[in-house]
């Protein structure tokens, strides 16, 4: 018996020693013998993805990546097979080219791997085919049919601002903007809001749950096999262990209504995105399964609300920190009001397009602090890819962090880290748009860009026209975490209503 136990212990010891030896060999190979061994970066990052994952989990991935590029230059090895690129030629060669996306994007298959949507598709040709079916629903002409419904939601937002202004109470504007963005997304997608703006509070803890899910998914995308085993599998979906709460329940209820309406010839039509997508699924069953339509809706709800909320917050935060810009934008609006524009309770999108300085401020605020903190990853094609004299072999993951490019002095000039809306009136601004990545670039550009623009312009114009806003503590710097999207918070404000 003792001999038997000794034999097991001996084999376990040998197995442990072998495992250790393989781990050491793998670490040495990645560090010194990999084709990327000469690319600079943190030593630990060249050995394991855990270094990168730690900063994602910490919420400072974009800040960490910017610091690395300042230290090491255009190319930084942030994981054993991933290089972050900040070379000016990078956006055109990586993002505007038709390259396969990095494996991280598979995490967007929600709620499990069966649900394929455009963000989770890695192959560019397959994604383009799917996008052609979904994109028409996001044409401005289609979305603007729902503008009166958007105005109803935004009216609830501004009504809450009015109440706080009258009472002189501090307001957590970040939360109210998030509620409005969620409900505008609901109106666009389903022709019905989720109810956040009307309630003025977080329903079913959605924001808190969303922040946790955002953090988990940002990390889990780099460990797909484990994620698929633990969370992204049909068994977990069927058991409901990871239920999405109020928004998910509302999403599937609205989808069922849309499907019923699609089969009812007498049902009144409504200009909603889901109506378009449901019809696209019926007309193209060989390409779009019902589960694919569901997958696209699920991912769009989050993308259409989180990114827009962050962008509007960035606009307000930077504008109140630069009161001269707020005053100049208001003067522009008043000039247009004198000509009969911008007089609706909520400024119309059409009227907002007569405000070039406001547009410049929106673009500049997103340049200074945009919604996307993650590197946009693509895979080097057959034969590899050369950028700025550096060659990367086939299969290398090359990523571009929007935050890095949007504040690059090499791309934007010596004042790249400073607020300057007037840069958007420069003669050469068109040559710099490839470095402004609010909605991505190339074939993977965000399909919801038009919806985001409509909401951003309407909210920004109405806020500047009707309100004066200041932080409760003028010295306060907002807080934020950067997971899949940036989540700003903790900057309460006082709101004053203007007599207009």
For residue range 115-163, list pLDDT tens digits in order. 888 899 999 999 988 888 888 888 888 899 999 999 999 999 999 999 9
Tokens standing for residue 174: 């970040």
Number of structural domains in the chain: 2
Rounded-to-integer distance, Cα 118 and Cα 127, Å: 6
Do 265 and 352 fall into the same domain?
A: yes
Rounded-to-integer distance, Cα 247 and Cα 351, Å: 32
Do 29 and 86 fall into the same domain?
A: no
Q: Which residues are annotated as a binding site?
A: 446
Please indicate, yes or no, if residue 203 is contained in any of the structural domains: yes
Rounded-to-integer distance, Cα 354 and Cα 361, Å: 14
Do 2 and 149 fall into the same domain?
A: no
Please indicate, yes or no, if residue 175 is contained in any of the structural domains: yes
Q: What is the pLDDT of residue 406?
A: 95
For 100, 110, 308, 362, the CA distances from 301, given in Å and listed in that order, are 25, 12, 11, 23
Chain-centre distance of CA 394, in angstroms?
28
Please indicate, yes or no, if residue 404 is contained in any of the structural domains: yes
Please indicate, yes or no, if residue 473 is contained in any of the structural domains: yes
Tokens standing for residue 157: 């937002």
Within 10 A of 81 (CB to CB), how many other CB atoms are there?
18
Residue 484 in contact with residue 217, Cβ under 8 Å? Answer: yes
Do 157 and 290 fall into the same domain?
A: yes
Do 139 and 9 fall into the same domain?
A: no
Q: What is the pLDDT of residue 246?
A: 59
Please indicate, yes or no, if residue 107 is contained in any of the structural domains: yes
Residue 353 in contact with residue 341, Cβ under 8 Å? Answer: no
Do 106 and 142 fall into the same domain?
A: yes
Do 217 and 274 fall into the same domain?
A: yes
Q: What is the pLDDT of residue 2?
A: 54
Do 213 and 319 fall into the same domain?
A: yes
Tokens standing for residue 486: 């940036």
Q: Which residues are annotated as a binding site for heme?
A: 446
Dihedral, CA of residue 34, residue 66, residue 435 and residue 92, to nearest 10:
0
Q: Decide the pairing of beta strands 82-85 and 397-400.
A: parallel
Q: Which residues is 76 bridged to in the sheet? A: 84
Do 5 and 73 fall into the same domain?
A: no
Q: Which residues is 479 bridged to in the sheet? A: 489
Tell the residue number behind the tokens 């710099």, with chain if given.
432
Do 22 and 93 fall into the same domain?
A: no
Residue 466 in contact with residue 459, Cβ under 8 Å? Answer: no
356: domain CATH number is 1.10.630.10
Do 8 and 87 fall into the same domain?
A: no
Tell me the residue range of the domain where 302 lies: 43-497
Residue 387 in contact with residue 90, Cβ under 8 Å? Answer: yes
Nearest to 166 by CA among 458, 414, 495: 495
Query: CA 231, 114, 275, 277 torsion: positive or negative?
Result: positive
Rounded-to-integer distance, Cα 130 and Cα 280, Å: 10
DSSP code for 100: P
Q: Which residues contact 399 (CB under 8 A, 6 or more apart)?
A: 78, 82, 83, 84, 85, 102, 375, 376, 377, 378
Please indicate, yes or no, if residue 357 is contained in any of the structural domains: yes
Do 9 and 154 fall into the same domain?
A: no
User: Which regions in the chain score pLDDT beneath 50?
Assistant: none
Please indicate, yes or no, if residue 257 is contained in any of the structural domains: yes
Please indicate, yes or no, if residue 38 is contained in any of the structural domains: no
The answer to whether the bond into 111 is cis (omega within 30° of 0) is: yes
């Amino acid at each position: 018996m003792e001999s038997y136990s000794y034999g097991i212990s001996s084999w376990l010891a040998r197995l442990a020693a072998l495992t250790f030896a393989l781990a050491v060999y793998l670490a040495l190979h990645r560090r010194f013998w990999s084709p990327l061994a000469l690319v600079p970066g943190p030593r630990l990052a060249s050995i394991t993805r855990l270094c990168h994952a730690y900063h994602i989990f910490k919420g400072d991935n974009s800040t960490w990546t910017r610091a690395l590029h300042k230290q090491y230059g255009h190319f930084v090895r942030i994981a054993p097979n991933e290089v972050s690129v900040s070379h000016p030629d990078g956006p055109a060669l990586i993002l505007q080219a038709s390259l396969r996306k990095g494996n991280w994007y598979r995490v967007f298959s929600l709620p499990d791997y069966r649900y394929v949507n455009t963000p989770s598709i890695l192959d560019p040709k397959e994604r383009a085919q799917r996008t052609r079916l979904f994109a028409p629903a996001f044409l401005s002409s289609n979305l603007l049919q729902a503008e009166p419904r958007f105005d109803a939601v935004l009216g609830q937002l501004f009504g809450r601002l009015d109440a706080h202004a009258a009472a002189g109470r501090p307001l957590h504007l970040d939360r109210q903007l998030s509620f409005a963005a969620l409900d505008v997304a609901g109106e666009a997608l389903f022709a019905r809001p989720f109810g956040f703006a009307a309630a003025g509070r977080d329903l079913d803890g959605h924001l808190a749950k969303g922040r946790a899910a955002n953090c988990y998914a940002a990390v889990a995308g780099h460990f797909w096999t484990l994620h698929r085993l633990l969370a992204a599998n049909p068994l977990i979906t069927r058991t409901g262990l990871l239920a999405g709460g109020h928004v998910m329940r509302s999403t599937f209820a609205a989808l069922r209504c849309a499907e019923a309406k699609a089969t009812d010839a007498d049902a009144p039509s409504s200009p909603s995105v889901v109506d378009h997508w449901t019809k696209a699924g019926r007309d193209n069953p060989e390409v779009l399964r019902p589960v694919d339509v569901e997958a696209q809706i699920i991912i769009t709800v989050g993308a259409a609300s989180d990114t827009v909320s962050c962008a509007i917050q960035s606009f307000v935060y930077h504008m109140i920190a630069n009161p001269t810009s707020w005053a100049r934008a208001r003067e522009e609006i008043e000039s247009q009001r004198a000509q009969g524009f911008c007089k609706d309770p909520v400024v119309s999108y059409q009227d907002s397009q007569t405000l070039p300085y406001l547009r410049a401020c929106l673009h500049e605020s997103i340049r200074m602090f945009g919604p996307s903190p993650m590197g946009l990853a693509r895979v080097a094609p057959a034969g590899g890819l050369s950028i700025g004299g550096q060659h990367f072999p086939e299969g290398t993951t090359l990523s571009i962090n929007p935050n890095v490019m949007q504040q690059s002095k090499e791309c934007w000039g010596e004042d790249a880290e400073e607020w300057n809306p007037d840069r958007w009136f420069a003669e050469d601004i068109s040559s710099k748009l490839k470095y402004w990545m609010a909605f991505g670039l190339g074939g993977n550009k965000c399909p919801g860009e038009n919806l985001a623009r409509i909401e951003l312009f309407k909210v920004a114009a109405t806020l500047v026209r009707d309100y004066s806003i200041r932080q409760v503590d003028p010295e306060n710097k907002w807080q934020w975490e950067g997971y899949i999207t940036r989540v700003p918070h903790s900057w309460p404000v006082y709101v004053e209503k203007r007599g207009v």
